[in-house]
Amino acid sequence: MPKLVRFGISLEKELLAKFDKHISKKKYQNRSEAIRDLIREEIVKTEWLKDKEVAGTITLVYDHHKRELINKLTDIQHDFHELIISTQHIHLDHDNCLEIIAVKSKPKEAQKLADTLKSIKGVKHETLSMSSTGKEII
Ligand code: NI
């Protein structure tokens, strides 16, 4: 169990009121947990700006009737096989597929893979969720 440290924060009353309203909406039990998450988010953002190893997911939505598109997406994933740790394919409905690609790599490589997949004609939507290997955050 990590050692806990207490410290005081001074801030404007109105700002604290807004923060309390915000954390209540987000279902936090207390301010400490909300502040911990804010700190973790900043650390993860920094990881993505530096050259450290990160983890994340790329989510794609595309029309599975476009066979050429599927071949291209597969070719690209083979080109980037070293950073892809897992993929999941979900048949959303008769026409649409959702694919989740989990990556662990340097930020630039993950971004390059996401950009390359997104640039393929027929990809309807893509997001890159920038997360962490968890090593730098507690
Ligand atoms: Ni499918």
Measure 89 CA to ligand 1 centroid, in angstroms: 6
Q: Which amino acid is at 104?
A: K
Mean pLDDT over all residues of the chain? 94
Cα separation, 52 vs 130, whole angstroms: 13
Measure 81 CA to ligand 1 centroid, in angstroms: 20
Mean pLDDT computed over 27-32: 94
CB atoms under 10 Å from CB of 56, counted, come to: 22
What is the pLDDT, as a whole number, of residue 1? 73
Measure 112 CA to ligand 1 centroid, in angstroms: 24
Measure 73 CA to ligand 1 centroid, in angstroms: 13
What is the tens place of the pLDDT at every residue in 103-124? 999 999 999 999 999 999 999 9
Confidence of residue 15 (pLDDT cuts 50, 70, 90): very high
Share of the chain above pLDDT 90, in %: 91
What is the tens place of the pLDDT at every residue in 55-84? 999 999 999 888 899 999 999 999 999 999
What is the pLDDT, as a whole number, of residue 64? 87
Cα separation, 100 vs 130, whole angstroms: 13
Q: What are phi and psi of 75, to 5 degrees?
A: -55, -45
pTM given for the model:
0.86
Least Cα distance to 47 among 103, 113, 107 occurs for 107
CB atoms under 10 Å from CB of 72, counted, come to: 18
Measure 85 CA to ligand 1 centroid, in angstroms: 20
